[in-house]
Structure 1
Amino acid sequence: MQIEGAIADIGDAIAEARDARKRFRHAPRFAPAGQSTQMIVGADGASDSQIIGRANMLYDRFQLRRVYYSAFSPIPDASAVLPLKRPPLMREHRLYQSDWLVRFYGFSTGEVQEAADDKGMLPLDIDPKLAWALKFRGLFPVDINRAPREALLRVPGLGTRAVAAILRARCLHDLRLDDLARLTRTVAKLRPFIIAADWRPTSLIDRGDLRVRLVWDG
């Protein structure tokens, strides 16, 4: 609550400064780049799902520019309530990936939270978009020659630039796997989740060992 109060106060100051500049041309600018905040990961018992929820509440409520994540690092003679070891650095990385899913890939906060396990933790061995896709296999495969941008952005392994390139290229001709290989870094992770002019995954998406196979390929 203290953090939210401080962010709210700064937000009010930004709004006041913006209003002052409308009336007085030489009024000083206050925080022209907007606000950001940082969350320390692993300093308490908060799960990834709780951290994702709080971060996106701050985005929505205070129009933050960025939320940064930093893995907790123990220090000598710290409070006894703090943990004795730091969390895996990969946990910090997964939270950044979840942040991008909401900000750039059209996922809702709730959808990203669904990528977590029953304890609210994101898997460390696979990225959150792949974890979400494996939980909702019924939404796949996606036809790269027909699907809208929103559906393509949910395909594991397709970034925003690759999706933009697919949308441009398919206006000229139907895309095959070879075409896709030139637009992305690898098609190995894509195969179970897409349909192309010369490719249909048949029962691949339903394989019980699909997660293991994708981790191995990745």
Structure 2
Amino acid sequence: MRLDRSDFSCLRDSLHKVNRPCTMEQMIEVARRLREQHRFAGYIHLKTIPGCSDALLAEAGRYADRLSVNIELPTEAGLAELAPEKTHAGIHEAMGAVKWRIDEAREARSPKVRAMAGRPAGVRAPRFAPGGQSTQMIVGADAANDAQILRTSARLYGDYHLRRVYYSAFSPIPDASRRLPAKAPPLLREHRLYQADWLLRFYQYEVEEIADARSDGMLDLDIDPKLAWALRHPERFPVDLNRAPKEMLLRVPGLGVRNVQRIIASRRSGALRLADIARLRAPMKKMLPFILLPDHHPQRQLDDPAALRQWLTPKPRQGDLFA
């Protein structure tokens, strides 16, 4: 069912009649009405509040596709300074509770458990946040560097099986606390963190590999972290696309997961040549210095990583005045 603006206005007005701030109970009530009264079958993402009751958490997971417990800041020190009413211990406890319920619901819905419980095939166990859980971190509000941020993300992915960590660049507001920075971090920093996060989740990189370039623990803003790693390790290249294992193909700048899968599948039928790779529609300029094919060799480009970096670094662009 498609909801129009009047449907959401009705829900909003009903909440505004309550003379207290919007609480988790109210958010759940909105989700319940969307599901049960308006028959909304689309995606719902609910934020949960650390310390909420088990009953509220169960109800939130019943109506939401995904739940989030926001960690807010990557370090305990930053949280203590800027949000002392919260603790990492409390946030981690809440994440653990969500993970436990997700695991429990997934297990209860398995055919083996259904059979053991004597549940008829058509009767399903109650759902609980089938889209998993996520969190959000503010970037640039405290002194945490990119390496610290990525280490925190890696621990959260490992400990709680998060589906996603969202990074949000700090944005100053008027009359804010003096403990907060007066300037926002470069928006490109947020973008680089998302790229690095992708490498952690899908490209088998470790945090220390990504953030080992600079003593200040910050990512390079001029080039993406995958290219930065390749330029720091010219001894690992060029990669023979017809022989290299998947793990090394994933390290080639310009090659994504799907194209790596296509290369592995295609080379079973015969040796790949440059024309075959060009058909992948990958960024060839970025890729060519790092790959080896029967009809392509990067010659001595990798002998001078600094010159190669300069050639591959995107040129600065002036913003469109009317964008």
TM-score, normalized by length of structure 2?
0.62
Q: For residues 293 and 107 of structure 2, what CA distance do their matches in structure 1 show?
A: 53
Note closer, same or farther for the CA distance 1:147–1:77 as it changes in structure 2 (3 Å cut): same
In structure 2, what is the equivalent of residue 122 of structure 1? 219
What does the per-residue CA deviation read over 1:67-111, in whole Å, with 9 as the maximum and x for residues that have no partner? 111111111221111111211111111111111111111112322
In structure 2, what is the equivalent of residue 112 of structure 1? 210
Q: CA deviation at 1:13?
A: 4.1
Contact 2:138 2:168 (C-alpha < 8 Å) held by counterparts: yes
Q: For residues 27 and 204 of structure 1, what CA distance do their matches in structure 2 show?
A: 59
Aligned with residue 63 of structure 1, among 142, 161, 167: 161
Q: CA deviation at 1:53?
A: 0.4
Q: For residues 302 and 178 of structure 2, what CA distance do their matches in structure 1 show?
A: 47
Greater length-normalized contact order (CA 8 Å, ≥ 6 residues apart): 1
Q: For residues 11 and 185 of structure 1, what CA distance do their matches in structure 2 show?
A: 37
What does the per-residue CA deviation read over 1:130-156, in whole Å, with 9 as the maximum and x for residues that have no partner? 011111111111001111111111001
Deviates more, 1:177-186 or 1:141-150: 177-186
Match of 1:68, as an amino acid? Y
Q: State the superposition RMSD in angstroms.
A: 2.2
1:139 aligns with 2:139: no
Contact 2:241 2:292 (C-alpha < 8 Å) held by counterparts: yes
- In structure 1, the residue corresponding to 2:297 is in which secondary structure? coil
- In structure 2, the residue corresponding to 1:189 is in which secondary structure? helix
Q: CA deviation at 1:168?
A: 2.2
Deviates more, 1:48-57 or 1:84-93: 84-93
Contact 1:42 1:86 (C-alpha < 8 Å) held by counterparts: yes
- In structure 1, the residue corresponding to 2:149 is in which secondary structure? helix
Note closer, same or farther for the CA distance 1:168–1:46 as it changes in structure 2 (3 Å cut): same
Q: For residues 181 and 103 of structure 2, what CA distance do their matches in structure 1 show?
A: 39
In structure 1, what is the equivalent of residue 92 of structure 2? 4
Match of 1:57, as an amino acid? R
Q: CA deviation at 1:15?
A: 4.6
TM-score, normalized by length of structure 1?
0.90
Q: For residues 249 and 108 of structure 2, what CA distance do their matches in structure 1 show?
A: 44
Unmatched tracts of structure 1, length 5 or more = none
Q: For residues 102 and 172 of structure 1, what CA distance do their matches in structure 2 show?
A: 31
Q: For residues 217 and 167 of structure 1, what CA distance do their matches in structure 2 show?
A: 33
Contact 2:189 2:219 (C-alpha < 8 Å) held by counterparts: yes
Deviates more, 1:88-97 or 1:207-216: 207-216
Q: For residues 151 and 15 of structure 1, what CA distance do their matches in structure 2 show?
A: 33
Q: For residues 132 and 148 of structure 1, what CA distance do their matches in structure 2 show?
A: 18
Match of 2:192, as an amino acid? R
% identical aligned pairs: 55
1:96-107 to 2 correspondences below 5 Å: 96-107=194-205
Match of 2:142, as an amino acid? D
Match of 2:220, as an amino acid? P
- In structure 1, the residue corresponding to 2:269 is in which secondary structure? coil
- In structure 1, the residue corresponding to 2:286 is in which secondary structure? coil
Note closer, same or farther for the CA distance 1:151–1:78 as it changes in structure 2 (3 Å cut): same
Match of 1:135, as an amino acid? R
Contact 1:91 1:122 (C-alpha < 8 Å) held by counterparts: yes
1:1-218 to 2 correspondences below 5 Å: 1=88, 2-15=90-103, 28-114=126-212, 116-207=213-304, 208-216=306-314
Note closer, same or farther for the CA distance 1:184–1:19 as it changes in structure 2 (3 Å cut): closer
Larger radius of gyration: 2
Q: For residues 7 and 145 of structure 1, what CA distance do their matches in structure 2 show?
A: 43
Q: CA deviation at 1:46?
A: 0.6
Contact 1:158 1:184 (C-alpha < 8 Å) held by counterparts: no
Contact 1:189 1:217 (C-alpha < 8 Å) held by counterparts: no
Q: For residues 280 and 308 of structure 2, what CA distance do their matches in structure 1 show?
A: 24
Q: For residues 11 and 120 of structure 1, what CA distance do their matches in structure 2 show?
A: 30
Q: CA deviation at 1:210?
A: 1.1
